[in-house]
Chain A
Amino acid sequence: MKTSAYYKAKKVAVNVVIHAFLLSVALTCIFPLLWMIASSLKSQDVIFKDMSLLPKVYHFENYYRAWMEGGFGRYFINSIAYTVSVVVGIIIIASMAAYGFSRLQFPGKNIMFYMFMAAMMIPIPGSFVPLYVLLNKLHLRNTAPGYILCMINVGLSTSIFLLKTFFDKMPKELEDAARIDGCSKLGIWWHVALPLAKPVLAVVVVFNALNVWNEYVLALIIFDSRPLMPLQVALTTFQGEFVTNYPLLMAGLTITALPIIIVYLLMQKYIVKGVTQGAVVG
Chain B
Amino acid sequence: MRIKSTLENYVFVLPAVTIFMIFYVIPFIWVFQLGLFEWDGILPTKTFVGLGNFKEILFDKIWWQSMGNAGYITLIALTLQNVVAFLLAWACDREIRAKNFYRVIFFIPPVLSEVVVGLVWQWILDGNYGLLNHWLGAIGLPQLTRNWLSDPQTALTAVAVVHCWKGFGWGFLIFLAGLQTIPRELYEAARVDGANAWQAFRKITVPLMIPVAVLVGILTILGTMQAFVLIIAMTGGGPAYHTQVPVLRILASMRGSSRFGYACAQGISFGVILMAISFIQYRFSKKYKG
Minimum-distance CB pairs A-B, first 3: A126-B267, A100-B12, A130-B27
Q: How far is the CA of A272 from the CA of B16 in the complex (A)?
A: 27
Contacts of A216 in B (CB 8 A): 113-115, 229, 232
Q: How far is the CA of A261 from the CA of B106 in the complex (A)?
A: 12
Complex interface bits, B11-44 against A, C-beta within 8 A gives 1, otherwise 0: 1110111011011111110110010000001000
Q: B-contacting residues of A (Cβ < 8 Å)?
A: 15, 18-19, 21-22, 25-26, 28-30, 32-33, 35-36, 39, 47-48, 51, 92-94, 96-97, 99-101, 104-107, 109, 112, 115-116, 119, 121-134, 149-150, 152-153, 156, 160, 185-186, 189, 210, 213-214, 216-217, 221, 232, 235-236, 239, 246, 249-250, 253, 256-257, 260-261, 264-265, 268, 271-272, 275-276, 279, 282
Q: Does B204 reach chain A (CB closer than 8 Å)?
A: no
Q: Does B80 reach chain A (CB closer than 8 Å)?
A: no
Once A29-B106, A160-B16, A257-B112 are accepted as A-B contacts, the answer to whether A131 and B254 lie under 8 Å apart by CB is no
Q: How far is the CA of A104 from the CA of B6 in the complex (A)?
A: 9
Is the beta-carbon distance between B27 and A232 smaller than 8 angstroms?
A: no
Is the beta-carbon distance between B9 and A126 smaller than 8 angstroms?
A: no
Q: How far is the CA of A99 from the CA of B228 in the complex (A)?
A: 36
Q: Which of A107, A126, A153 contacts B247 (CB 8 A)?
A: A126
Is the beta-carbon distance between A122 and B174 smaller than 8 angstroms?
A: no
Chain B residue nearest to A233 (CB atoms) is B115
Known: A122-B275, A129-B34, A235-B119. 18 other contacts (CB 8 A): A32-B120, A93-B16, A96-B15, A97-B17, A101-B13, A121-B278, A123-B226, A123-B274, A125-B271, A130-B30, A132-B41, A134-B27, A216-B113, A217-B251, A250-B120, A272-B173, A279-B173, A282-B215
Q: Which of A123, A124, A186 contacts B31 (CB 8 A)?
A: A124
Q: How far is the CA of A254 from the CA of B216 in the complex (A)?
A: 31
Q: How far is the CA of A4 from the CA of B106 in the complex (A)?
A: 35
Q: How far is the CA of A261 from the CA of B266 in the complex (A)?
A: 36
Complex interface bits, B160-178 against A, C-beta within 8 A gives 1, otherwise 0: 0000010001100110010
Q: How far is the CA of A279 from the CA of B213 in the complex (A)?
A: 12
Q: How far is the CA of A252 from the CA of B41 in the complex (A)?
A: 34
Instruction: Give the Cβ gap from A257 to chain B, nearest Cβ, in Å.
Output: 5
The binding surface of chain B is classed by DSSP as: helix
Chain A residue nearest to B27 (CB atoms) is A130
Is the beta-carbon distance between B173 and A125 smaller than 8 angstroms?
A: no
Q: Does B239 reach chain A (CB closer than 8 Å)?
A: no
Instruction: Give the Cβ gap from A260 to chain B, nearest Cβ, in Å.
Output: 6
